[in-house]
Structure 1
Amino acid sequence: MTNHLVLKKADFFVSAAQPVAVADRYPQNVFAEHTHDFCELVLVWRGNGLHVLNDRPYRITCGDLFYIRAEDRHSYESVNGLVLHNIIYCPERLKINVDWDDLLHSARDAGKDPRWRLSSQGMAQARQLIVQLEHESVKPDALSLCLTESLFLQLCITLRRHRYQTQDAAGPDSSEILDLLMAALGQSLDTPFELTQFCHQHQVAERHLRQFFRQQTGMSISQYLRQLRICQAQDLLRNSELLVGNIATRCGFEDSNYFSVVFTKETGMTPRMWRQRYAVEV
Structure 2
Amino acid sequence: MTLILAREDYFPSPSMPVAVADRSPQPSFPPHSHQFSEIVMVWRGNGLHVLNDRPWRVTCGDLFYIKDQDCHSYDSVNDLVLDNILYCPDRFKLGLNWSQLLPLNDSKQPAHWRLTTRGMALARGVIKQLEQESRKSDLLSLQLTEALFLQLALILRRHRYAAEGQQRLPEGEQLDLLMATIQANPGHQLDLAGFCQQNKLSERALKQLFRQQTGMTIGHYVRQLQLCQARHLLRSRDCLISEVAARCGFDDSNYFSVVFTRETGMTPTEWRQRFMNAARAGTEKQRPALAGRPLS
TM > 0.5: yes
Q: Distance in 1 between matches of 2:143 and 2:164?
A: 37
Match of 1:244 among 206, 222, 241: 241
- Equivalent position amino acid for 2:3 in 1: L
Confirm or deny: 8 A CA contact 1:43 1:64 kept in the other structure.
Answer: yes
- Quote how far apart the aligned CAs of 1:204 are: 1.2
Q: Once superposed, what is the RMSD of the aligned Cα atoms? A: 1.3
SS of the residue corresponding to residue 238 of structure 1 reads helix
SS of the residue corresponding to residue 164 of structure 1 reads strand
Q: Distance in 2 between matches of 1:91 and 1:170?
A: 31
| Aligned pairs for 1:181-260 within 5 A | 181-260=178-257
1:97/1:21 Cα in 2 relative to 1: closer, same or farther (>3 Å)?
same
The residue that corresponds to 1:28 in the other structure is: 26
SS of the residue corresponding to residue 103 of structure 2 reads helix
Confirm or deny: 8 A CA contact 1:33 1:74 kept in the other structure.
Answer: yes
Q: Greater shift after overlay, 261-270 or 18-27?
A: 261-270
SS of the residue corresponding to residue 87 of structure 1 reads strand
1:35-93 per-position Cα deviation (integer Å, ceiling 9, x unaligned): 00000000000000000000000000000000000010000000000000000011100
Q: Distance in 2 between matches of 1:234 and 1:278?
A: 11
1:68/1:80 Cα in 2 relative to 1: closer, same or farther (>3 Å)?
same
Mapped pair 1:158 → 2:161? no
The residue that corresponds to 2:96 in the other structure is: 98
Mapped pair 1:11 → 2:34? no
Confirm or deny: 8 A CA contact 1:120 1:179 kept in the other structure.
Answer: yes
- Quote how far apart the aligned CAs of 1:267 are: 1.0
Confirm or deny: 8 A CA contact 2:67 2:104 kept in the other structure.
Answer: no
- Quote how far apart the aligned CAs of 1:172 are: 3.2
Q: Distance in 2 between matches of 1:89 and 1:230?
A: 32
Confirm or deny: 8 A CA contact 1:120 1:174 kept in the other structure.
Answer: no
1:158/1:205 Cα in 2 relative to 1: closer, same or farther (>3 Å)?
same
Confirm or deny: 8 A CA contact 1:67 1:108 kept in the other structure.
Answer: no
Confirm or deny: 8 A CA contact 1:164 1:171 kept in the other structure.
Answer: no
Mapped pair 1:134 → 2:144? no
The residue that corresponds to 1:265 in the other structure is: 262
Confirm or deny: 8 A CA contact 1:121 1:174 kept in the other structure.
Answer: no
Q: Distance in 2 between matches of 1:210 and 1:108?
A: 38
- Equivalent position amino acid for 2:24 in 1: Y
Unaligned runs of 5+ in 2: 280-296
The residue that corresponds to 1:77 in the other structure is: 75
Q: Distance in 2 between matches of 1:174 and 1:144?
A: 38
1:169/1:94 Cα in 2 relative to 1: closer, same or farther (>3 Å)?
same
1:206-260 per-position Cα deviation (integer Å, ceiling 9, x unaligned): 1111111010000000000000010000000001101000000100111101111
Q: Distance in 1 between matches of 2:226 and 2:208?
A: 22
**Identical counterparts, % of pairs:** 56
- Quote how far apart the aligned CAs of 1:132 are: 0.5
Confirm or deny: 8 A CA contact 1:163 1:172 kept in the other structure.
Answer: no
- Quote how far apart the aligned CAs of 1:188 are: 2.2
SS of the residue corresponding to residue 104 of structure 1 reads coil
Confirm or deny: 8 A CA contact 2:47 2:75 kept in the other structure.
Answer: yes
Q: Distance in 1 between matches of 2:197 and 2:135?
A: 49
- Equivalent position amino acid for 1:210 in 2: K
Structure possessing the higher radius of gyration over alpha carbons: 2
1:107/1:192 Cα in 2 relative to 1: closer, same or farther (>3 Å)?
farther
Confirm or deny: 8 A CA contact 2:48 2:76 kept in the other structure.
Answer: yes
Q: Distance in 2 between matches of 1:23 and 1:171?
A: 32
How many residues get paired?
279
- Equivalent position amino acid for 2:27 in 1: N
Q: Greater shift after overlay, 236-245 or 94-103?
A: 94-103
The residue that corresponds to 1:45 in the other structure is: 43
SS of the residue corresponding to residue 105 of structure 1 reads coil
- Equivalent position amino acid for 1:156 in 2: A
The residue that corresponds to 1:58 in the other structure is: 56
Q: Distance in 2 between matches of 1:114 and 1:255?
A: 32
Q: Distance in 2 between matches of 1:278 and 1:34?
A: 19
Confirm or deny: 8 A CA contact 1:51 1:77 kept in the other structure.
Answer: yes
Unaligned runs of 5+ in 1: none
- Quote how far apart the aligned CAs of 1:108 are: 6.0
- Quote how far apart the aligned CAs of 1:173 are: 4.5
The residue that corresponds to 1:278 in the other structure is: 275
